């Protein structure tokens, strides 16, 4: 098993999408990339801790590659907006790859270069690629949020449309 830590806006969206993929063993919502130990959701939302909302994915690379996870990641959120995803604004919503090895760093740089050359996005990709240091698991109510709260407003308006598009686009990779 390997781990990757990715941030692309609200962690509820990425959590809902990645847990559907074959080869993904677990997805945890949390905080990483900041300068405060054991941050809370409230402190991260203040924008003062330096953390991003992230998901930490444990996956089997024999079933799904790190490269495939990154290609999906860069296609399911807008990696061209600095510190923003839709209505979510602040450094905690930045696009970020926290690599766990030099190989992950190289693959991250390569995939972003490929997306740039192929002009997948019309604007430049601003996703940070930084070394993983620490991960702080988010409060329990954030874990698997969409499946626990499918009728909640944010889930219906923001997550569900992304999930429908994701499942259609990546149907061959779903559990």
Catalytic residue (one of 10, 13, 29, 155)? 10
Asked if 16 and 10 count as a contact pair (C-beta separation under 8 A), the reply is no
Contacts by 23-27, CB closer than 8 A, 24 or more apart: 23/59, 23/60, 23/61, 23/62, 23/63, 23/64, 24/57, 24/58, 24/59, 24/64, 25/1, 25/58, 25/59, 25/60, 26/57, 26/58, 27/55, 27/56, 27/57, 27/58, 27/144
Note if 10 is an active site residue: yes
Q: Which residues are catalytic?
A: 10
């Amino acid at each position: 098993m390997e781990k990757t830590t990715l941030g692309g806006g609200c962690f509820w969206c990425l959590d809902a999408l990645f847990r559907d993929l074959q080869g993904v063993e677990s997805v945890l919502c949390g905080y990483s990339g900041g300068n405060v130990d054991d941050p809370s959701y409230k402190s991260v939302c203040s924008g003062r801790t330096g953390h991003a909302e992230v998901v930490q994915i444990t996956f089997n690379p024999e079933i799904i590659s790190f490269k495939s996870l990154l290609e999906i990641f860069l296609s399911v959120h807008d990696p061209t907006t600095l510190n923003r995803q839709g209505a979510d604004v602040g450094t905690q919503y930045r696009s970020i790859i926290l690599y766990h090895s030099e190989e992950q760093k190289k693959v991250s740089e390569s995939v972003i270069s490929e997306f740039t050359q192929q002009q997948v996005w019309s604007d430049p990709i601003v996703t940070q690629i930084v070394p993983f240091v620490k991960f702080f698991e988010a409060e329990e109510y954030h874990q698997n949020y969409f499946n626990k709260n499918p009728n909640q407003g944010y889930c219906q308006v923001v997550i569900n449309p992304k999930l429908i598009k994701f499942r259609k686009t990546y149907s061959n990779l779903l559990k």
